[in-house]
Amino acid sequence: MAIKEKKPTTPGQRKMTVVDYKKVLTTNEPYKPLLVKLDQKYGRSRGKISVRWRGGGHKKRYRLIDFKQGQDKLDIPAKVLTIEYDPYRSAFISLVCYKDGEKRYILAPNGLKVGEEIITSEKTPVKTGNRMMLKNIPPGTLICNVELYPGRGGQMTRSAGSFAKMLGIEKGYAILQLPSSEIRKVKENCFATIGQVSCPEHSSVVLGKAGRSRYTGKKPVVRGSAMNPREHPYGGGEGRAPRGTKRPKTKWGKVTGGKKTRKKRKPSSKFILQHRKK
């Protein structure tokens, strides 16, 4: 897949890049029985702004994704029908049809082709798109859509281009290296999909203009230093004034820079062998 650069015919298109969808996607029409309309909250709670700088966004419909990828259909092969765009996520999705006739959407791993057969089982061949238990995955294998707890479905490494690396098995736990460089333990009977999530070029896309950011539901963010003193700790002053506080702070005076936000006694901390590198 390639990144396509727009011709600079207007100021907004200068250096703008887009993913070349024509080389990857196989259809423009989603599977209607798996579409749902979600209520847009626009960062409001009871009409009041609860999350700033959110609003608008393009009209879209949610695709129901099976993050378990057929864990309730073990040993039943599925055929890949399409590779599609999903407006609610950065990665592509695939419509698969199981041998019993049921169709579902799954996260598309990078390199998955239409017409291929994939399967979910306790132990499967190490092939892109197959899903199996962590205890049966060889060390060094790249995996995605990883379960954190058995039966919950994939919760980690689901964004475009992300993957975890299988390091080994120890005392009933699989040791994984996550995209953040964190190394942690996950129960060996959790499931994971072989391969890397599709659309790895997503992080290289240059929006080029403010309008493309507004399509995603993001409103312009106002700098604290551009506000009045009563509105932000950085506000006020003549011209471009310095921050005026020793540590970076939010609008409400909460310290942000360099402060650890993870709870000291969080129960899941015992599963983390090595924290992520700064």
Domain termination residue (choose one: 140, 165, 198): 198
**164-222 tens-digit pLDDT:** 999 999 999 999 999 999 999 999 999 999 999 999 999 999 999 999 999 999 999 99
Do residue 106 and residue 175 come from a single domain?
Answer: yes
Do residue 68 and residue 136 come from a single domain?
Answer: yes
CATH of the domain at 148: 2.30.30.30
- Burial grade of 223 (CB within 10 A; 0-12, 13-18, 19 or more): exposed
Do residue 157 and residue 44 come from a single domain?
Answer: yes
Residue 83 lies in a domain: yes
Do residue 237 and residue 189 come from a single domain?
Answer: no
Do residue 246 and residue 127 come from a single domain?
Answer: no
Q: Is the pLDDT of residue 244 over 90?
A: no
Residue 6 lies in a domain: no
Per-residue pLDDT band at 277 (split at 50, 70, 90): confident
Q: Are 17 and 4 in contact (CB under 8 A)?
A: yes
**36-54 tens-digit pLDDT:** 999 888 899 999 999 999 9
Q: Is the pLDDT of residue 278 over 80?
A: no
Q: Report the pLDDT value the prediction gives residue 261, as an integer from 0 to 100.
A: 85
CA-CA-CA-CA torsion sign (129, 133, 138, 142): positive
Do residue 109 and residue 188 come from a single domain?
Answer: yes
As a whole number of angstroms, the distance between CA 28 and CA 246 comes to 52
**96-105 tens-digit pLDDT:** 999 999 999 9
Residue 19 lies in a domain: no
Query: How much is the mean pLDDT over the chain?
Result: 93
Q: Is the pLDDT of residue 141 over 60?
A: yes
Residue 1 lies in a domain: no
As a whole number of angstroms, the distance between CA 166 and CA 185 comes to 10
Residue 108 lies in a domain: yes
Do residue 124 and residue 235 come from a single domain?
Answer: no
The domain total for the chain is 2
Residue 18 lies in a domain: no
**Percent of the chain with pLDDT strictly greater than 70:** 100
Residue 103 lies in a domain: yes
Mean pLDDT of all residues in 119-143: 95
* Whether the model pTM is above 0.95: no
Residue 261 lies in a domain: yes
Domain termination residue (choose one: 143, 167, 198): 198
Q: Report the pLDDT value the prediction gives residue 262, as an integer from 0 to 100.
A: 87
Q: Report the pLDDT value the prediction gives residue 258, as an integer from 0 to 100.
A: 83
Do residue 171 and residue 242 come from a single domain?
Answer: no
Tokens standing for residue 210: 């403010």
As a whole number of angstroms, the distance between CA 124 and CA 193 comes to 10
Do residue 152 and residue 276 come from a single domain?
Answer: no
Do residue 43 and residue 140 come from a single domain?
Answer: yes
- Burial grade of 194 (CB within 10 A; 0-12, 13-18, 19 or more): buried
CA distances (Å), origin 77, targets 66, 98, 119, 121, 159: 15, 6, 5, 9, 25
**73-85 tens-digit pLDDT:** 999 999 999 999 9
Domain that holds residue 226: 221-278
Radius of gyration of the chain measured on its C-alpha atoms: 22
CATH of the domain at 267: 4.10.950.10
Q: Is the pLDDT of residue 1 over 60?
A: no
Residue identified by tokens 């993913």 is: 19
Do residue 146 and residue 265 come from a single domain?
Answer: no
Do residue 160 and residue 31 come from a single domain?
Answer: yes
